[in-house]
Structure 1
Amino acid sequence: MSSPSQGIFLGTDSGATTSKTGGVWADGTIISTKLRQSSTNSQAGTAAVIKGWVDGVVGFLADNQLSWDQVKGVGLAIPGPYLGYGIMGRASNLPKSFEGWNFHADYSAAIAAAAGRAVPLVVGNDGNYGGVGEAQRVRGDSKATVLMLAPGSGLGVAYVDANGLPLEGDTLNGMEGGHMPAILQLLGGMKPLKCGCGRDWGCIEPYTTISGLPQLLQEFLPKHPTHPFHTSPAPIKEKAFSLRTLAQKGDPLAIDIFNFQAKALGLHMASLLVAVDAEYVVIGGGLIDPEATTPEFRERYLRIIRESALPYLWPKQAEKLKVLPATLGELSQAIGAALVALYTDKAKA
């Protein structure tokens, strides 16, 4: 068991409304699996966001009887896009005034003020850092590489290398796999759907995530002419967001849509594996959450993903491939951020 006297590495996972804080000991083990959340307050400006992040760290230290003296590094997981390292681009879920914000410099200064000394800070894409957290869980002490696909409101994609670090690219926008085009010719002639990113080439994201469910419902509903949705006065989004619950009850329309999403995700997984050749694939998101879906649903979802990918892989890839559900849930990005801080510290030693 890790000793409270050893150094620790902390991770902040920043969302537009809520931020989460986690941490690991110097040997990489998780300090606490209890989710620590604090308000991000993005509507109040960048200074309020920084305060929320620091409050989260202070609370986490207090919850776990730890001190600033033990903190050896901090990681920040935050959605892009970026204009440069630690500099915010035009993010769709943040105020326009945040564009150009040097969050790395501001958070570094705030951490130094709270700790009474400079503390190394690393920053990166939240999806990539979530992949780091999940990768550590599945590969253990091996050097196997890991691909993570996490369909939620959007599609998070991460590739984690043999050193446990994510592929980020020269502008920190690497592995934005949710905005690669879907393989429409293998999806029953499905038309290009609208994506929130503005691209019109048929991004894979709306075919595999919550954000695409209203459009998929409009495409699939005519194939179920007796479904109650035809006469329901509820708005299309309300109907779409009820699909996961309906699928648990065996609703044929809902099951068809989620089977389609699983196939689309499996084909996309195959495309990515041809490029990165990972041994492990971790599937995250709400559809594999044990508290939100039945074992039968999760088993079918993962099976269709795997079966859809296998015909397009090289024989050795198909033989070694392991497709596993994510296990860290909402902790993954905070833990991943802490691990990147740890791995970066080790690399400098």
Structure 2
Amino acid sequence: MAKPDIFIGTDSGATTSKTGGIFADGTVISQELRQSSTNSKDGTAAVIAGWVEGVRGFLVDNEITWDQVRGVGLALPGPYQAYGVLDKSANLPASFEGWNFLADYTAALSAEAGRPVFVATGNDGDLGGVGEAHAVRGDRKVGVILLAPGSGLGCAYVNADGLHLGGDNFAGMEAGHMPAPLHLLGNAPVYECGCGKGWGCIEAYTTISGLPQLLRDTLKRYPDHELHQSELPIKQQCFSLRDRAQVGDPLALDMFDFQAKALGLHAANLITALDPAYVVIGGGLIDPESTTPEFRKRYLDGIRDAALPYLFPAQRANIQFVPATLGELSQSIGAALLARHRPALN
């Protein structure tokens, strides 16, 4: 009996790379990711070797042979100078600027397999959206937006064909750096964002990156809160807020309600432009292992309720806000799905 064709996805971070895969019909091969060190401090050759080792180990773990591999996808944070060519990255060595990682990875995988291996690549946030869209919509050919607040705001749009909006300069859906509607957020002040735009990026109002500024302002309304006496660094105070919210801390709930409203207003902007069927919400605030069902419902309801008044009637009736389901699998599965969309070399 012939062995099934498969597609591999590599999800590369600055320190850890994760490998997953799908069968040709799109089903996930394993819920267990193969993890390996990215080794970026040791140069580009070490990174390539780590990626290849991740694929090799995943194949061994799942009793798959190289002749079954029809293509490989790579999720790697941008920005890019061109397709498969890295620009200056905040999380990788400066010497990596201009690195044609796609050519190097393709050559290394082809040498390992003993035949040409097709490789496709994309921004990690975009490919996380591809993975989540595949999971949420099933056989429906509809558009999906992913909004994933974490240290920054991951945003992706996946069209009815299952492909992400990458853009002509590979910066499509960098929507975390669109301006927040401050007049609808109680005339909130302009918060600083690491991108330097200076116009109040929505990322600063919805993610961990903006929590120090939001905590500073929210504490003014809670003069008796214990954080006024805390000697912890502001970053650690902010990291405590999610746990505080799970036990009903009013200040923490107030802050996350604000973030939910901001994210919902942003979702309304994107829905108006892109008209999807689903908005998938990812990030640590909907993580079942870290948050309670009550908190997750409150947060998701807050996002939806903020968005709905600004949508057209048909959108209000049909749009679905749902939590992400793939967790750490999303980017590697999205990368594998991207490879499946391209003609694989045999």
Shift of 1:4: 7.5
Identity of aligned residues (%): 65
Q: Could you tell me which residue of structure 2 aligns to residue 246 of structure 1? A: 244
Q: Could you tell me which residue of structure 2 aligns to residue 85 of structure 1? A: 83
1:198 is paired with a residue of what secondary structure?
A: coil
Amino acid at match of 1:17: T
Q: Is the 8 A contact 1:4 1:66 kept in 2?
A: no
1:132 aligns with 2:130: yes
Q: Map of 1:156-305 to 2, 5 A cutoff?
A: 156-305=154-303
**CA distance in 2 between partners of 1:235 and 1:221 (Å):** 15
Q: Could you tell me which residue of structure 2 aligns to residue 48 of structure 1? A: 46
Shift of 1:335: 0.2
Moved more, 109-118 or 264-273: 109-118
CA RMSD of aligned residues (A): 1.3
Amino acid at match of 1:299: K
**CA distance in 1 between partners of 2:235 and 2:266 (Å):** 25
**CA distance in 2 between partners of 1:151 and 1:121 (Å):** 29
**CA distance in 1 between partners of 2:190 and 2:11 (Å):** 32
Query: Where do 4+ consecutive residues of structure 1 move more than 4 Å?
Result: none
Q: Which runs of 5+ in 2 are unaligned?
A: none
Q: Could you tell me which residue of structure 2 aligns to residue 13 of structure 1? A: 11
Q: Could you tell me which residue of structure 1 aligns to residue 305 of structure 2? A: 307
Cα distance per residue 1:317-346 (max 9 Å; x no partner): 010000000000001000000001112238
**CA distance in 2 between partners of 1:315 and 1:114 (Å):** 54
**CA distance in 1 between partners of 2:47 and 2:4 (Å):** 29
Shift of 1:10: 0.4
After superposition, the Cα gap between the structure-2 partners of 1:4 and 1:289, relative to the gap in structure 1 and judged at 3 Å, is: farther
Q: Is the 8 A contact 1:21 1:37 kept in 2?
A: yes
Q: Is the 8 A contact 1:130 1:333 kept in 2?
A: yes
2:309 is paired with a residue of what secondary structure?
A: helix
Shift of 1:49: 0.9
Q: Map of 1:99-110 to 2, 5 A cutoff?
A: 99-110=97-108
Q: Could you tell me which residue of structure 1 aligns to residue 63 of structure 2? A: 65
2:273 is paired with a residue of what secondary structure?
A: helix
Q: Could you tell me which residue of structure 2 aligns to residue 155 of structure 1? A: 153
Q: Which runs of 5+ in 1 are unaligned?
A: none
**CA distance in 1 between partners of 2:224 and 2:305 (Å):** 30
TM-score by length of 2: 0.98
Moved more, 83-92 or 189-198: 189-198
Match of 2:316 among 315, 318, 331: 318
Q: Could you tell me which residue of structure 1 aligns to residue 121 of structure 2? A: 123
**CA distance in 1 between partners of 2:28 and 2:323 (Å):** 19
Shift of 1:35: 2.1
Shift of 1:303: 0.1
Q: Is the 8 A contact 1:38 1:56 kept in 2?
A: yes
**CA distance in 2 between partners of 1:126 and 1:60 (Å):** 19
Amino acid at match of 1:208: T
**CA distance in 2 between partners of 1:331 and 1:249 (Å):** 29
Cα distance per residue 1:240-287 (max 9 Å; x no partner): 111001111111111111010000000000000000000111000010
**CA distance in 1 between partners of 2:306 and 2:265 (Å):** 6
**CA distance in 2 between partners of 1:248 and 1:53 (Å):** 38
**CA distance in 1 between partners of 2:50 and 2:188 (Å):** 43
Shift of 1:198: 1.8
TM-score by length of 1: 0.97
Shift of 1:93: 1.1
After superposition, the Cα gap between the structure-2 partners of 1:110 and 1:290, relative to the gap in structure 1 and judged at 3 Å, is: same
Q: How many residue pairs were aligned?
A: 346
**CA distance in 2 between partners of 1:36 and 1:199 (Å):** 37
1:96 aligns with 2:94: yes
**CA distance in 1 between partners of 2:43 and 2:194 (Å):** 24
Shift of 1:27: 0.7
